[in-house]
Amino acid sequence: MGNIYSKGINQSDLYTLLKALMDNFNDMCTELTTDTNGTFTGTTYDVTLNMNDKVVSSNGTGLGQNIVYAFLKDLIDKYNALMTALDSTNLTATNYASTLAITDNFDDDTESREIRGAGMFQGDLVYTLDHIITKFNALQAQLDADALCSGYVTAYAISDTIDTDGA
């Protein structure tokens, strides 16, 4: 995966990152559902929260802002629903929603870094992607610390290729 810069994003790098977020989120939800240690017995995160291949461009040559907007909105909504669901499990921590939820900065005139379906600043998109990766990776570390199994960081963490200051 190439770097994503606040002053410019290669469309194939953006596609690769969004696809990795989708795949890792879906795989993590499947792991939570099928976890053999019984921690998540009876919860079907993979069915309820699956992203269902929201990234529609299979060749990575370009994504419209409306597609990126819809994908990120769906990802954040489902991720935050997972945080709430994890709070009701028998994991050690019960503060997933309060500490790991992703702040939604979509169509909100009070946010300084706002994402809109009709258009967004490149720097705001990069800031949002960086925020998502940071929270997503923190979730993997928390699951490793809380669950009776391990390997979430190794299996599902996203390589941070975001450069919020770079060219």
Q: How far is CA 65 from CA 10, 45, 70, 142, 163, in A?
A: 13, 28, 9, 32, 20
Which residue has tokens 């979730």?
139
- pLDDT tens string, the chain, 167 residues long: the values are 557 776 777 787 888 888 889 889 988 888 887 764 555 655 666 666 777 656 555 555 567 787 888 888 889 988 998 888 888 777 777 788 999 998 876 665 555 556 766 677 787 888 888 889 999 999 999 988 886 667 899 999 998 777 766 65
The continuous run of DSSP H or E covering 60 comes out as none
